[in-house]
Structure 1
Amino acid sequence: MTTRVLAIAGDDYRAHPLHSTGRIWTETNCYADVWLEVLHSLGLDPMVAGAFAVSADFEGDQWTFFKYPEADLRRAYGIDVHEMNPWRGVLQHVVEQLELGRLMTVEADSFYLPDTRGVSYQLEHVKSTIVPNEVDVNGRRLGYFHNAGYFELSGGDFDGVFRLGDHAEPGALPPYTEIIRLESMHRLPDDAALDVARTLLAEHVTRRPGANPVIRMANRMAPDVDWLRNQPPQMFHLWAFGTVRQCGACAELAGAFLIWFADHSSNPLAKEAAQHWMNLAEHAKSLQFSVARAARGRQIDLEPLTAQMAAEWDSAQDLTGKLVGS
Structure 2
Amino acid sequence: MAVAASQLFKWVLLVAASASLLARADLRYDFYNTSCPGVEKLVRDELALKFAADVTLPAGLLRLHFHDCFVRGCDASIMLKSHNGTAEQDADPNSTVRGYEAIEDIKAKVEAACPLVVSCADIIAMAARDAVNFSQGPLYQVETGRRDGNVSLKEEALQFLPPSDGNVTVLTEYFAVQNLTMKDMVVLSGAHTLGIAHCPSFSKRLYNYTGAGDQDPSLDAAYAKNLATVCTPENVASVQPLDPMSPKTFDQGYYQSVYNHQALLVSDAALLNDSLTGAYVQLMNNASSLDTFFADFAVAMINMGRAGVRTGTDGEIRATCAIYVD
Compute the TM-score of the two structures, normalised by the length of structure 1. 0.26
Larger relative contact order, structure 1 or 2 (CA cutoff 8 Å, min sep 6): 2
Scaled by the length of structure 2, the TM-score of the pair is 0.26
Larger Rg: 1
